[in-house]
Amino acid sequence: MFDDQSFFEQALYISLGQETQILSSRLIAAGNINQGVFLKTTEHTLFLKVNFQESPDIFEKEALGLNLLMENSPLKIPEVYHFGRIEDRNFLLMEWIHSDAGKNQYWNELGVGLAEMHMTSRGDFGLDTHNYIASLRQENSNNVVWSDFFIENRLEPLIGKAYYEGLLDLDFLKTFQSIYPKLKDIFPNEKPALLHGDLWSGNVMRGEMGVPVLIDPAVYFGHREMDLAFSQLFGGFDTRFYKAYQEVFPLEPGFEDRVPIYNLYPLLVHLLLFGKSYLSGIERTVKRLL
C-alpha cells in the first residue's frame, strides 16, 4: 500500500488542485487504526494519514477538531490541507511538523497554552456534531449539566457497547450503572471548556524550536479536568506542565480524587479497542465509588 504512488498522487491532486511531483515518501507510523506517510514534493513537506475505516467522515471530524483548536488555542496545531476518500481508503493531508528538541520551556508552554485554551467556553457541554475518539464514535449531544453529559454521552454508550460485545457480564453492567447517581455531586461546577479530548503523551509533540504541538484531537466542550485526568492515565506529563497550568487556571480542591472517575471514559475506550486487560482499572474505580 505505502508504495502506492498513484494513491499518493490522487490524494495530493484532490487536496491541492494540481498535479504535484513527489520527490520522496516513506511510512513513518503504522498504528492499529491509522497509518502515517511522509511526503516530500517540489513545493511542500506533508503528512498523509490513511485508514480503511468504514466511516467515511472520520477524518472530516478530525479536521474540524484541528481547525477548532487552531482558532482557539495559543498552541501550535498542524494546518489541514484536505481530507477525503479514494475507493476504500480515507485520507487526511496535513502540514508536516518538523520535530526539534528545542528549549527547556516546553512543559511550561504546554501547561500555559492548555490553560488558555480551556478558557474558551460556550453555554453548554457537547459539540454541534458527533466525532470520534480513535475509531469509536463519540457522542456530543448538548447538555447544560456536566454530570448528565458525562453519563449520557461518555459512560453509558461505551459500557453498553462493551456489554453487547461480550467484554463484561450483565451483573457488572448493572453495577457500573449504579454509580451514576453518585456522580451528580462529585464534579466542581464550572463552565464548559474547549477540550483536546484525547490528551496523552502520544498526542503531544515538539515542533520547530521545541514548541508544543497538539495532534489527533477528539474535541468537544467538556469539563476541563477531563483533559488533565487523561494526561495522567499513561504515565503522566512532566510536573512542570501541571504547575504551569495551575498558575494560570487553578483547579478546585480534590482533583486527584476525581481523576479515576474521569478516566473511566478513556479506559472504556481502551477496553473496546484493545480488550479485557483494561477492565480491572474500571472495576477498581467502580468499587471505590460504591
The helix-helix angle for 255-262 and 279-289 (nearest 10°) equals 130
Q: How many residues does the chain have?
A: 290
Helix or strand run (H / E) with residue 150: none
The structural domains of the chain, with segments of one domain joined by +, span 5-95, 106-289
Lowest mean pLDDT: which of 5-9, 98-102, 262-266?
98-102
Residue 131 has pLDDT above 60, yes or no: yes
Q: Which grid coordinates are listed for 29?
A: 507510523
**Residue 198 designated active-site:** yes
Helix or strand run (H / E) with residue 203: none
Number of CB atoms found within 10 A of residue 137's CB: 15
Number of CB atoms found within 10 A of residue 142's CB: 16
Q: Which CATH code of 3.30.70.980, 1.10.150.120, 3.90.79.10, 3.30.200.20 fits the domain covering 5-95?
A: 3.30.200.20
Reference 117, options 75, 73, 65; nearest CA is 73
Catalytic residue among 128, 185, 198, 227: 198
Structure confidence at residue 38 (pLDDT): 95
Helix (H, G, I), strand (E, B) or coil at 115: helix
Structure confidence at residue 3 (pLDDT): 54
Beta bridge partners of 85: 90
CA distance 140 to 143: 9
Residue 18 has pLDDT above 70, yes or no: yes
Beta bridge partners of 133: 136
pLDDT, tens digit (0-9, with 9 covering 90-100), for 143-167? 999 999 999 999 999 999 999 999 9
Residue 19 has pLDDT above 90, yes or no: no
Tell me what the mean pLDDT of segment 109-115 comes to: 98
pTM over 0.85: yes
Look-up: residue for cell 498504528?
A: 31
**Fold (CATH) for 106-289:** Aminoglycoside 3'-phosphotransferase; Chain: A, domain 2 (3.90.1200)
Reference 168, options 176, 156, 179, 178; nearest CA is 176
pLDDT, tens digit (0-9, with 9 covering 90-100), for 223-257? 999 999 999 998 889 999 999 999 999 999 999 99
pLDDT, tens digit (0-9, with 9 covering 90-100), for 25-80? 999 887 778 899 999 999 889 999 999 988 889 999 999 999 999 999 999 999 99
Structure confidence at residue 37 (pLDDT): 95
- Percentage of the chain modeled with pLDDT above 70: 98
pLDDT, tens digit (0-9, with 9 covering 90-100), for 195-212? 999 999 999 999 988 899
Residue 1 has pLDDT above 50, yes or no: no
Which tops the pLDDT comparison, 87 or 72? 72
